[in-house]
Structure 1
């Protein structure tokens, strides 16, 4: 790739539409969800007296077990060849 003499003189076009959507819609929504989960975890910790890391580990374990059971039940259904 060759950079011409007027490279620094030209104004860039700005971000693309997908990047603009990601930066203005998706990232703020994800941050809001993460913040809400953090507040919920903190409140549950205060109410129960259990450390947040223990609550988080328990919830993660329950979700993992549920997903494992769901996907292992699918593989045992009759008529599945692989």
Structure 2
């Protein structure tokens, strides 16, 4: 499934809510684009979602196994610390 993940795919939670947009896959994480980085101190840099959360790739969408609010709570910074 990792090989099916492409740049600019929409990342959506199991509940259908937008989580972010794929920048690329790095090791065991999906790097999200900066435009999906959030607000305040989180704004303007990349966040990462664990590949383990990927449920399926359907067309140009990557669906996660967790709802969007849970997936966002599991996002990491570039150094692996919680977002």
User: With structure 1 as the length reference, what TM-score do the two structures score?
Assistant: 0.20
* More strand, by proportion: 2
Greater RCO (CA < 8 Å, at least 6 residues apart): 2
* Pair member with larger Rg: 1
| Greater share of residues in helix | 1
